[in-house]
Amino acid sequence: MVRSRLVAAGAMLLLTGSLAAAQTSTVGGRVVNSQGGVVPNAEATLRPLPAPGATPMPNMPNMPGMAAEKTMAVNADGTFTFAGVAPGQYVLQVDASGFERSSQQVTVANQPLTFAVTLTPLDIPGAEGSAEAAAAVVPDTQVLLDRIKQLEQRISDLEANTVLSEPETRVKRIEVYVDPNNNVHDEPVPGARKQVTYQRERVYRRQWLTEKLEQAFADQDSKKIAVGVSAASVTQFARRTSGNGGEANGHAYQLNSADLLFAAGLAQYTSFFADVVGLSGAPPDAEIHSLTLLNSYTARLVRQNELNVREAWLRTELFSQRLALSAGRLDLTNYFDRNAVANDETAQFISDGLVNNPMLGLATNGAGVAGVFDPKNGFAFKAGLQQSNTDATNLSQSLYTLAEVDYVARPKGLGEGSYRVWVRNDNSSQRARRGGGVSLDQKLTPIFGLFGRYGTADAAGGRDQFYSGGFQFQKGLVFNPDDYWGVGYAETNLERGDRERLAEGYYNFLISEKLRLSFHLQHVFERPGGTPSVGFLLPAIRVQARF
């Protein structure tokens, strides 16, 4: 019984093998080089392709579940044969060192297939042994190959002159290990200490002439002092809307400002900056006696038609560039209360009450130091001091100090916003010695943002107070994509009874990357202590160029 089962099983195996053999075929061929010679040490691979409708991603070679692929050494006479190949789609590959891979799709049916495979030498310029394939070619072509090499060399020489294929050199900072005998090692060795040095490096990088020229110009520019210009012309008209008096009614005003900006790198993370400004013209602030400037550019005006150094400072960055220190003649408002929606008289509002917080109490630039610690995690800490009275004979008696904490928040459901708290002290002022305030700008939607400010300062018998608020649209509800517009309101109340209420709206057009044009409408109500309120409406146009 056992015997008969064994016989049956053997017969089944034979039958299966015979059936399989009957459904298979052979794939073979001969491998030669381009001269028809035998290619030594070649190998052939037959890889099945996925069947139509199968998963499009073939399994990776050598991975579990991979499709079986067959590889065999090509015989000494260049022939090879895969036997027992089932019908289907395959990739037939032939490889030999120094030659390009030959790869082709083959369809196996029941008939044997034979292929003539010609391998092409793989030339890798600069690689060792790249002539190996050439050496495999029959000797009677050696003269021809030598000639080809000569021609290739001539082409290479020609390229070196026309497309800059010659090796490029550059100096690099490297770390090496120097032992007591001053022998240099690339890797640590006992007794050697790590040192930093500089060394020339040679690389093979082909560059086009345009690239090389651009690089040369960029290198030259980086060593120069960068010069910029920021010029503005603000034209305003005044019409009294309420109250009596005020010589400004019906008058037109224009103030022109030009800043020359200089910047230069001095050392690692250390730079110099200077802003020289000249102003010419008449702002409305000379005739409308407002608590805050109706043209924020007026703050820059020292003397008409004269150049003044507005800022000149050195800046260095420490502690992985987390701490930036600036020292020199500063405008501290450039560092503090940097409200994203209302802080730039060159691009947003022109009313100073909507550009700054008057409770900061800083009217002029002066010698000082500002430090900003910003680890870029949403918190920033700022502190600064500055000479507050330019007539003071020493810093001790005219010291203005300011500190601020900034925080980037994302209230639930809203966009990002910046929130700031600041305090300040001015030892040159008896009236408004201490002050403090908050400032925020918050996006409500991607195109709509709010701003708000509040400030208070010591006064003789109480406190001066200020607040402002408004909004800005950008990237939406505009004529052109880079335009923006905003509306703001500010109110200043001094302890002595003076009061100012101010509203402004503006629309800023982008004419070009260097030129902007904006239209403004201001309405201000001034009520000096104990007197009736006077109102003025001021349409304005600002042209701002920056390049």
Partner 1 sequence: MRNAKRLLILSATSLAAYIAAATTVPLGAAVVKVQDPRTVVMIVNRDSNDIAFMDITTKKIVGKAFLGNNVNPHMVMMSPDGRYVVTGGTRANKAYIIDAHTLELVKVIPVDIAPEHLAFSPDSRWYYQGNPEGDSISVIDMVSLTKIKSITGLVEPLNTVFLPDGSKAYVGNYGAHWVGVIDVRRHELLKKIQVGDVPGVAKLDPEKYLGNIHGINIPQITNDGRWLYAADSDLGVVAKIDPREDKVVKVIRVGKSPWRPYMSHDGNYLITPNNGDQTISIVDLRTDKVAATLEAGENMTGVNFAADKAFVISSTTAFVYVYDMKTLRPAGRLKMGTNIQLETATTDTADQKIYLADSTENAVIIIDAKTNAFEKIMNVGLFPWGTHIMDSKDNYCH
497-526 positions binding partner 1, by CB under 8 A: 509-514
The distance of closest approach from Cβ of residue 517 to partner 1 in the complex, given in angstroms and rounded to an integer, is 11
Phi and psi angles of residue 248, each rounded to the nearest 5 degrees, phi first: -80, -15
Task: State the DSSP code for 34.
Answer: T
Q: Which of residues 289-328 bind partner 1 (CB under 8 A)?
A: 320-321
Distance of CA 4 to the CA centre of its chain: 82
User: What phi and psi values does residue 11 have, to the nearest 5 degrees?
Assistant: -65, -40
445 binds partner 1 (CB under 8 A): yes
What is the C-alpha to C-alpha distance for residues 529 and 148, in angstroms, rounded to an integer?
98
What are the CA-CA distances from residue 363 to residues 15, 230, 256, 330, 352 (Å)?
105, 21, 20, 12, 11
Under the criterion CB under 8 A, does residue 10 sit at the interface with partner 1?
A: yes
| CB of 438 vs partner 1, minimal distance in Å | 20
**Residue 480 in contact with partner 1, rule: CB under 8 A:** yes
Nearer to partner 1, 352 or 483 (CB): 483
Stretch that binds partner 1, among 256-264, 410-418, 489-497, 499-507 (CB under 8 A): 410-418
Applying CB under 8 A, among 84, 228, 497, 529 the residue interacting with partner 1 is 84
63 binds partner 1 (CB under 8 A): yes
Q: Which is nearer to partner 1, 139 or 413 (CB)?
A: 413
Residue with tokens 């709509």: 448
Shortest gap between Cβ of 122 and partner 1 (angstroms)? 7
Q: Given candidates 58, 436, 535, 539, which one binds partner 1 under the rule CB under 8 A?
A: 58
Contact call for residues 308 and 331 (beta carbons, < 8 A)? no
- Greatest Cα pair distance, the chain, in angstroms, is 131
How many other C-beta atoms are found inside a 10 Å radius of the C-beta of residue 1? Answer: 5
Residue 212 near partner 1 by CB under 8 A = no
Q: Which of residues 384-403 bind partner 1 (CB under 8 A)?
A: none
**189 is an interface residue for partner 1 by CB under 8 A:** no
Collapsing DSSP states into helix, strand and coil, what is residue 269? coil
C-alpha 119/C-alpha 102 separation (Å) is 6
d(CA 172, CA 536) in angstroms, rounded, equals 65
Q: Assess 21 for contact with partner 1 (CB under 8 A).
A: yes
Indicate which single residue of 35, 73, 212, 215 sits in contact with partner 1 (rule: CB under 8 A). Answer: 73
Q: Which of 181, 244, 268, 394 binds partner 1 (CB under 8 A)?
A: 268
Q: Is 1 in the site for partner 1 (CB under 8 A)?
A: no
DSSP-derived pairing of the beta strands 499-512 and 515-527: antiparallel
CB 475 to partner 1: min, Å: 4
Is residue 206 a contact point for partner 1 (CB under 8 A)?
Answer: yes
Closest distance to partner 1 from the beta carbon of 446 (Å) = 4
**In b/e form, how buried is each residue of 40-55, taking b as 16+ CB within 10 angstroms?**
eebebbbbbeeeeeee
CB closer to partner 1 out of 166 and 287? 166
CB of 63 to partner 1, least distance (A): 7
State which residue, 103 or 390, has the beta carbon closest to partner 1. 103
For the record, the structure tokens of 248 come out as: 């400004």
**Among 60, 189, 307, 318, which residue sits at the site for partner 1 (rule: CB under 8 A)?**
60
State which amino acid sits at residue 155: I
* Alpha carbon distance 540, 526 (integer Å): 19
Strand partners, 313: 273, 328
409 binds partner 1 (CB under 8 A): yes
* Closer Cβ to partner 1, 102 or 544, answer by number: 102
DSSP states of 53-87: TS-SSPPPTTSTTPPP-EEEEPPTTSEEEEEEEPS
Are the C-beta atoms of residues 451 and 354 closer than 8 Å to each other? no
Of 32 and 91, CB closest to partner 1: 91
Examine residue 127 and tell whether it contacts partner 1 (CB under 8 A): yes
Measured from the CB atom, is 377 or 393 closer to partner 1? Answer: 377
> Which residue(s) pair with 28 in the sheet?
81, 114
How far is it, in rounded angstroms, from Cα 500 to Cα 248? 17
Site for partner 1 in 368-387 (CB under 8 A): 375-378
23, 104, 107, 533: residue in contact with partner 1 (rule CB under 8 A): 104
Residues 321-340 that bind partner 1 (CB under 8 A): 321
- Token pair recorded at residue 301: 């005006």
Using CB under 8 A as the binding rule, the residues of this chain from 164 to 183 that contact partner 1 are 165, 168, 172-173
Structure tokens at 225: 């002092």
Binding of partner 1 by 135 (CB under 8 A): no
Cβ distance to partner 1 smaller for residue 110 or 320: 320
Shortest Å distance, C-beta 65 to partner 1: 13
Q: Looking at 62, 169, 182, 394, which residue binds partner 1 (CB under 8 A)?
A: 62
Site size toward partner 1 (CB under 8 A) is 87
Using CB atoms within 10 Å of the CB of residue 295, give its burial: 0 to 12 exposed, 13 to 18 middle, 19+ buried.
buried
Rg (CA), the chain: 40
